[in-house]
Structure 1
């Protein structure tokens, strides 16, 4: 007996790897990085690596209401 694509004993095909990509420099990370930041702009999530976040911290903070910092 043969199985159809996606059929398996584990409930379907294995999950594809999910990569985070820095929206500024394009650096890729294979797993969540605790030093990266996430920004939601117009309902879309953008991730920034720690180097880009550090280099642009003042601009990032400048967009927040003072209650957030």
Structure 2
């Protein structure tokens, strides 16, 4: 079983499912998850639907 991994910093969740505090994004047909720290630091970019290459 693989644990959920933050797409930005690489931190891993304790379970396969991302915790409720993590953000989920779909880019280029891929599901990406971001830990609560990375999600807080990039909330404007996430809400603006900017691809991570522009963060």
TM over 0.5: yes
* Deviation for aligned residue 1:37: 1.1
Whether 1:53 and 2:39 are equivalent positions in the alignment is yes
TM-score between both structures, scaled by the size of structure 1:
0.63
- Structure 1 unaligned segments of length 5 or more: list them: 1-16, 65-69
- Separation in structure 1 between the aligned mates of residue 31 and residue 21 of structure 2, nearest angstrom: 16
5+ residue gaps, structure 2: 51-55
Q: CA-atom RMSD, angstroms?
A: 1.4
What TM-score, normalized by structure 2, do the two folds share?
A: 0.77
Count of paired positions = 48
Which runs of 4 or more aligned residues in structure 1 lie more than 4 Å from their structure 2 counterparts after TM superposition?
none
Q: Rg larger in 1 or in 2?
A: 1
2:6 is equivalent to residue 22 of structure 1: yes
